[in-house]
Amino acid sequence: MATSAPPAPSHASVPGVLPLRPDLGHSFLWHKLHSLSGIVPIGAFLIEHILSNFEALGGPVAYGQQVRLLNSLPMVRVLEWVFIFIPLAFHAIYGVDIALRGRATVNIYPWAGNWGYLTQRITGLIAFAYIIQHVWRQRFSGVMLPEHPGAAFAKVQHELHNPWMLAIYIVAMIATCWHFSYGIWLFAAKWGITPGTRARHRFGQLCAVFGTGLCIMGLASMYAFVGNPKYANAPADAFAPTAPPAITQPAPVVTPPAQ
């Protein structure tokens, strides 16, 4: 007697972003921490960093004052490690692990979500490589800016005078702002903040505008260092005391002898 064949498995896919599920075990916890750390504290620090660099448009003194203000915060070295270096190292290393374990399928499924997945991994790797050299060169080598904040403008200006470094900074700024803005969108989608296609589409537009604004501010700061002739050849230390102007004494008046 003929028997009916079992129904074929359904290959229909549900559009959207897969949520973070607790049944993923330890991976669920690490994914949540990775997703959250990209917003707080790393994303918050990125916004502060771009806003602080934007002070460069005011010149070497204004930029040095901002660096001095940040380094005068209470327990600033502890804050630096707890809220910047350690979370950044975790987010970057775990992100590299995700990128290496993942597989891009844009050649098979050229959907917007797949392109976003691939671009997020590429921009993350670019940002990671850039941050390593940037932190080393600006924070731990050369003039120590926490002790000499007045030298901040000249130090950055000297580095950006190298056209290769300027190109690296521009590419890294664009990649970092893309990575952060798209990461905000992914965070909202995966954490259930933007349920539904319409909400994600509108929030995506908002993230694009926000990321573009951050990128423009970052590029404008670079212009202040190397493109504005007003601040060309900035002093090595904007806070160094300058010599007072010389006082010109009047020439002595010689009275001719009496006849």
Kindly list the domain boundaries of the chain, sorted by start residue: 24-229
What's the CATH code, domain 24-229? Answer: 1.20.1300.10
Instruction: Name the least confident of 51-55, 191-195, 220-224.
Output: 191-195
Buried residues in 89-98 as b, exposed as e (16+ CB within 10 A): eebbeebeee
Q: Give the global pTM.
A: 0.81
Cβ atoms of 92 and 128 within 8 Å: the answer is yes
Predicted pLDDT of residue 212: 97
**258 confidence band (pLDDT: 50, 70, 90):** low
Predicted pLDDT of residue 190: 87
Predicted pLDDT of residue 58: 95
- Residue 119 CA, chain-centre distance (Å), reads 16
Highest mean pLDDT among 17-31, 225-239, 244-258: 225-239
Predicted pLDDT of residue 62: 96
The answer to whether residue 79 scores a pLDDT higher than 70 is yes
Predicted pLDDT of residue 61: 96
Helical H runs in the chain? 26-39, 42-53, 60-71, 76-80, 86-101, 112-139, 152-160, 163-190, 197-226
Cis peptide bond N-terminal to 41, omega within 30: yes
Instruction: Name the least confident of 12-21, 108-117, 145-154, 240-249.
Output: 12-21
The answer to whether residue 9 scores a pLDDT higher than 50 is no
Nearest alpha-carbon partner for 234 in 130, 176, 152, 175: 152
